[in-house]
Structure 1
Amino acid sequence: MSLWVDKYRPRSFSSLDYHKEQASRLKKLVQSNDFPHLLVYGPSGAGKKTRIMCLLRELYGSGAEKLRIDHMTFTTPSKKKVEISSISSNYHIELNPR
């Protein structure tokens, strides 16, 4: 079962309705075949994940949609536990520290 948001998320740059200039820049990066590493940041709800998933689909096709979820727990020297969740495909990794 998937969330409504994930089911109806735009899947291509052409279907994005806002910040079209950003989408066109990302599309030009994909077409240039000289794609750098990216670190994407911004406020909650700004469309970061949607744009990155569009970008991954442009670069790698539907293989970018096959996701794995991992949970890791680390104990720091001060005995504090840090949990990190990661969502990844063969082409990307998304880290969510808590």
Structure 2
Amino acid sequence: MRLILERSDAGLDLTPGEIADHLSISPASVSGILDRLHAGGLITFSPNEKDRRSKLVIPVDRSVDIEHIDPLTARIRDMSAGLSSDDVRLIAEFIEGIADAVDGECR
């Protein structure tokens, strides 16, 4: 939901395929997620004028509490609130190094 709101706020279109690419999950998984968001009244769909084979995902309920939908991100944000920019840079470099090492082992 966060991605949907952020893209909408930026005035950018968003398709289910773009969501799948962004989250690195299958289109079928995205379809299930979007079905639940639609059933909950949080999103709707509109035709994609640029590509008639797809549709655009549009947020409906702007009052949604993102912290409730995405509590992990809220918790991480709270944990990192007191870090300096140098601390954040160092932690990011460390995590990127770990991700590179894991990717190297998985190839």
TM-score, normalization: structure 2?
Answer: 0.25
Q: Which has the higher helix share?
A: 2
Which is greater in Rg?
2
With a CA cutoff of 8 Å and minimum separation of 6, indicate the structure with the bigger relative contact order: 2
Q: Which has the higher strand share?
A: 1
